Amino acid sequence: MALFRFADRLSDVKTLECNIKAALRLNPLFKSIRSMTSLPIIDLPESRPLPQSVSGEPGPSKGTYAFVSLGCPKNLVDSEKMLGSLSLDGYSLVSDPDGADFVIVNTCGFIESSRQESRSVIQEMLDLKKEGKTKGVIVAGCLPQRLEADGGLLKEMPDIDHVVGVFGRDEITKVADRLVGGNREQRELFRPAPIKAMNDQSRLRITPAHYAYLKISEGCDRTCTFCSIPSMRGKHVTKPIEMVLDEARELVDDGMRELIIVAQDTTYYGMDIYGEVRLAELLRQLQKVDGIDWIRLMYLYPINFSDELIDVIADSGNILPYLDMPLQHINSAVLKRMQRRVNSDQTRELVSKLRERIPNVVLRTTFITGFPGETDQQFEELRQFVEETRFERMGVFTYSLEPGTPAVKLEGHLPEDVKEARRDELMALQQKIAFEHADTMIGYELDVLIDEEIGDGVYVGRSYADAPEIDANVIVRGVDLQPGDMVPVEIMERQDYDLVGMVADVLAEEADE
């Protein structure tokens, strides 16, 4: 896969570099890319037609609603499924909750900070309701699911009209009907975790048309002591290969070029229904689907990463050499307390194997600092591992004490300032590594998928090394580009984590003038 090539014209383009810098300095939109903190209210551009994935004719108009989607890409898929159902049932999505008949907030309940964000958004919507600016508020997703056993979110925030658990999403239209009809009974809707995969087709997608998330399984069979996901999302349930392929074809018909595979535990795919892991086989089949340019893998667990899977990725023409594999720690004793079922030697061996066998691989991972009992020496081992391994992409979280998880009962809980200081030390080290890696890309030609235009002739895109929303960008100077275009870009400089370059054809034309 020729994702990047060395460019040999850089010595002739100093004036062009200055032009790009000037364009970026003059563009206020560029300065706000990383600081955008507006409420994540869903807004579909009027110019974008209803996605083909929402098949059938909408029913008679029933009312208007605004939608706020919080949390991870798996939750985003659930949001898109609810949006598709509501659209087909006759409800119209609006971008402003002020004046909408009702608002739906699809929440995250993973850690305390995400729960607080969810509560804050819910309260903002309830304030609108109190002011008479919307008639009702429906809260869905992980937060009500997480709090079901504790007396429920309705007990905590009684002004909410209805709550819908994770597995009640396919009945969202019934809940909306009850709200619009003034029915205050049956305000809670919880369903048991499914024993078969839920169908995610007929979604109204809220990502740009050219990329989409595809959830290949639900739930998790891991017993990590810090994690609450199994209590919210249930046991691992695989989506059969044919169902995944049908959904992928539907997404291609809707304009998708980049397919992003997500799950709670991607490498465990297939174990429950096939009796063995089948991710490698699934990827072989997905490669055959016409129209998919990039396949990106997220949430890979370091167990079940077989040689067969490595070979499929290494030999592929469209599976990106980008692997998101949360490792959480490297010290064996900490990993054992986390109940990760993998030790330091196994982790190091896997990382080395991936580096050796997958050309140009980019590794993304996450770590937890301040897990109960983490000593100075154990943290130092983690710091040295990060320094030696030089992950291209990395995130760090402080340990969050999660009620109901086994880690609560462990000894040695650390003060917040210690957890935060260790996180900050790792992130400072990682910033240096990331900047140095980005600098090595200067002088190369990268294939870049354009995401949006931010000014006259200035665009934001991503290389194979960058997943949407969580990684860096490539700032591109070009002519008449559209979101979804794949263009060769010669990289000229780095601006913080982002790369800056020019479409190769434009650069060649201007250099010849």
pLDDT tens, position by position, 41-68: 766 655 455 544 455 566 678 999 999 9
- CA–CA–CA angle 313, 318, 321 (5° rounding): 45
Residue 262's DSSP bridge partners are 215
Identify the pLDDT of residue 93.
Answer: 94
Q: Using alpha carbons, select from 84, 96, 79, 82 the residue that is nearest to residue 38.
A: 96
- Say if residue 22 is in the same domain as residue 103: no
- Say if residue 172 is in the same domain as residue 100: yes
Give the tens place of pLDDT for each residue, 316-373.
999 999 999 999 999 999 999 999 999 999 999 999 999 999 999 999 999 999 999 9
83 pLDDT above the threshold of 70:
yes
- Say if residue 164 is in the same domain as residue 99: yes
- Say if residue 31 is in the same domain as residue 127: no
Does residue 450 belong to any structural domain of this protein? yes
Residue 32: which CATH number?
2.40.50.140
Range of the structural domain that residue 462 is part of: 4-36+442-512
The letter for the amino acid at 92 is: S
Give the tens place of pLDDT for each residue, 216-226.
999 999 999 99
Last-in-domain residue among 155, 189, 223: 189
Does residue 250 belong to any structural domain of this protein? no
Average pLDDT over residues 429-447: 96
The phi, psi pair for 467, rounded to 5°, reads: -80, 150
Name the one residue in this structure whose structure tokens are 């304009």.
Answer: 255
Q: Containing H/E element for 380?
A: helix 376-389
Residue 173: which CATH number?
3.40.50.12160
Indicate the average pLDDT of the chain.
Answer: 89
Identify the pLDDT of residue 56.
Answer: 57
Name the one residue in this structure whose structure tokens are 């009500």.
Answer: 144
- Say if residue 9 is in the same domain as residue 112: no
The least confident of 190-204, 274-288, 325-339 is 190-204
Strand positions, DSSP E, 70-142 = 91-93, 102-107, 136-141
Identify the pLDDT of residue 13.
Answer: 39
d(CA 203, CA 194) in angstroms, rounded, equals 19
pLDDT-derived band of residue 19, with 50, 70 and 90 as boundaries? very low
User: Is beta strand 63-69 parallel, antiparallel or unpaired with respect to 91-93?
Assistant: parallel
Sheet of 91-93, strand order = 91-93, 63-69, 102-107, 136-141, 162-164, 188-189
Does residue 245 belong to any structural domain of this protein? no
- Say if residue 80 is in the same domain as residue 184: yes
- Say if residue 67 is in the same domain as residue 168: yes
d(CA 37, CA 506) in angstroms, rounded, equals 34
Identify the pLDDT of residue 54.
Answer: 52
Identify the pLDDT of residue 14.
Answer: 39
24 pLDDT above the threshold of 50:
no
Number of domains in the chain: 2
Does residue 175 belong to any structural domain of this protein? yes
The least confident of 16-30, 77-91, 372-386, 473-487 is 16-30
Last-in-domain residue among 139, 171, 189: 189
Give the tens place of pLDDT for each residue, 181-195.
988 788 988 899 888
Instruction: Provide the sign of the torsion angle of the four alpha carbons 465, 467, 469, 470, taken in this order.
Output: negative
d(CA 499, CA 420) in angstroms, rounded, equals 29
d(CA 477, CA 458) in angstroms, rounded, equals 5
Name the one residue in this structure whose structure tokens are 């959830």.
Answer: 215
- Say if residue 13 is in the same domain as residue 70: no
Does residue 54 belong to any structural domain of this protein? no
Q: How many helices (H) and strands (E) does the chain have?
A: 17, 20
Q: Which residue has the higher pLDDT, 97 or 23?
A: 97
d(CA 405, CA 230) in angstroms, rounded, equals 10
pLDDT-derived band of residue 310, with 50, 70 and 90 as boundaries? very high
d(CA 132, CA 141) in angstroms, rounded, equals 25
Last-in-domain residue among 159, 189, 219: 189
d(CA 27, CA 147) in angstroms, rounded, equals 45
For residue 264, what is the DSSP state? S
